[in-house]
Amino acid sequence: MTDKYLVEPDVNFIKEISGMGADSLKKCFQCATCSVACPIAPDNHPFPRKEMIAASWGLKDRLVGNADIWLCHNCGDCTSRCPRGAKPGDVLAAIRSYAISEYAPFKKLGQMVNDPKKLPILIAAPVVVFLVLGIFLKMFGIHWLNFSPSGAEISHAKFFSTWLVDLIFVPLAGFVAAMFALGLKRFIADIHENALKEGKTTKEKIDIKGFIEALIRVLPTILKHNKFSECGENQDRATSHLMVFYSFIGLFIVTNIFFVVLYVFQIHGPYSQLNPVKWLANIAGVALVVGSGLMIKDRFSNTEQVSTYKDWYLLGLVFGLGLTGLLAEMTRLAGAALPSYLIYFIHLMFVFNLFAFLPFSKLAHLVYRTVAMAYMEYAGRK
């Protein structure tokens, strides 16, 4: 006998995701072409047809805590084959954006990150933080802003003290980690509850050890972008995504190495360009600029794909981060002190915006998708 389900439509939910890029939702007439066309949808409970039905009915509880929305990589195969132009991939992308806002604490901050009218405030925020903290320290005789004397080697650390930068970014790292921890606690509980209801798992409770082992098993798939590359429409985009993905990994490694070198071994920069770690930093920086540039180009050329403010905000931050980082180093090596210091300061503003608002922006999908893929591996759903 068919299970009974009480339908409780959330009209506001439909309106909100429509404003996030799912305005084509109502064109869907549930033909299931999208689920058939998707090369990465599981055989049992395939997506995105069931998500399109749930979204059309405004079944928020069936979507926001659904791991399947994260298994979708928005490749466009379903969208290109949809006979009605309902753009299922973009609908799921909008639902993911809603889910990020739903799970992240401080929802007002999340709304600001995704509101173009609030962009000037987001840009001004790190400027105020740096300057106010700097002025406060100067009141106690701690000098933090210095220009190198004429003819001296240009050093960004002399202009804007490294320890002041870390005084801001280290606590910020703790804040970001706490935001994700709070969000993931609810997220994992919800996807497990939904999986039990829909018969995607028979495990009543999540075994932490088993979940971690599942996470380790899916890491090679994530690192190689296997699922992303399986989609036909993604072939041209796979390279640019891999470049950005690995450039972030490279820059993360570089940052941590130099953090240890500075505070443990007390070796101050600037470091030699012959240093292998600098090679990695430069290669990662170039890859970040080229990769994000290709992604921007793809957004402009692919008129079928929905591009919203959240997409352009993230791409702008990533491209700006890479470009200002490279220009700050190039002007430093060229001996142009004033341009180098100015560009370095702007670079810090890009870093702050990308990092501080990570749990609220589209980039949070790196965390949520990884956890969702690990959960499905743990649940045994192939």
State pTM to two decimals.
0.89
pLDDT of residue 147: 57
As a whole number, mean pLDDT of residues 339-349 equals 92
Q: Is the pLDDT of residue 296 over 90?
A: yes
- For residues 157 and 143, the answer to whether their CB atoms sit within 8 Å is no
User: What is the pLDDT confidence band of residue 1, given thresholds at 50, 70 and 90?
Assistant: very low
Segment 54-106, tens digit of pLDDT: 999 999 988 998 999 998 888 878 888 899 999 998 999 999 999 999 999 88
As a whole number, mean pLDDT of residues 348-373 equals 93
- Looking at per-residue confidence, does 69 or 1 come out higher? 69
pLDDT of residue 218: 93
Segment 145-159, tens digit of pLDDT: 665 555 567 788 777
Longest pairwise C-alpha distance within the chain? 84
Of 90, 94, 71, 69, the C-alpha closest to 79 is 90
pLDDT of residue 382: 65
Q: Is the pLDDT of residue 191 over 70?
A: yes
User: What is the pLDDT confidence band of residue 142, given thresholds at 50, 70 and 90?
Assistant: low
pLDDT of residue 304: 76
For residues 89 and 350, give the distance between their C-alpha atoms in angstroms, rounded to a whole number: 29
**DSSP annotation of 43:** S
Cis check: omega of the bond before 88, within 30 degrees of 0: no
